[in-house]
Chain A
């Protein structure tokens, strides 16, 4: 079965969606990501959707779910590289993805995530290291 790979990069998880999404694939990505956050103790998730040309309400909802679930597991999600036509279509469809952080490209997304994670480190002394 087709799967979207999830790469671990230090405290971050990187997902680059290079294929056309369909419901089952999006659902399995959601499950895999939550599992990976739990397993690796990742504090940030970066999802690159620059190659995704269509996001409809179901896939939009999955992206929202991933962000919410990550948050519950103490990880921030940033969606990067959304195509302008996709952004316009999502808003017109009525799905503005409230609560999902976004950045223009992977580089800016990384910076945003690092800032977020850094803030968390300062704010909470009880940071758990997943490796020990």
Chain B
């Protein structure tokens, strides 16, 4: 996989999500991603950004344009120094939530993207990586 373009944004306040969503939309439009996949990607990003703000008081997101074979896509890497997730398996189960949300955050988000990966260490932080292929 080749990284064609990379940007970094800080998400600290709730309002930071809006420029982040706008930038993501611009980049997705630029690679020719259709409106449905764009909507799925931005919705997933919105969920992940909210998690990061709620549980880790914010963090960093990398927005990358990536290419694999003939397929282009957007990769997002959310990293925070929050409390981490003790049981990722449980967090990925439909209906589970430790916060006040509906509990469809992580599994719902996973359904919206092409690739989803989560790594977390208690006390250190969490990194969530998602990829949405242009036609995926």
Contact = CB atoms under 8 A, between A and B. Distances in A.
Contacts of A58: 50, 101
Given A20-B21, A92-B112, A94-B108, A57 B102 contact: yes
Contacts of B108: 57, 92-95
A115 interface: no
Interface string B66-79: 00000000000000
A21 to B, nearest CB: 9
B111 A85 contact: no
Contacts of A55: 43
Contacts of B25: 53
Interface in B89-113: 94, 101-102, 104-105, 107-109, 111-112
Contact of A85 (B22, B35, B101): B35
Interface in A55-103: 55-58, 61, 83-86, 88-89, 92-95
Contacts of B22: 20
15 contacts: A20-B18, A22-B14, A56-B46, A58-B101, A85-B36, A85-B38, A88-B39, A89-B39, A89-B40, A92-B108, A93-B43, A93-B104, A93-B108, A93-B111, A94-B108
Given A20-B18, A22-B15, A57-B47, A94 B36 contact: no
A54 B112 contact: no
A92 B114 CA distance: 13
Contacts of A22: 14-15, 17-18
B42 interface: yes
Contacts of B35: 85
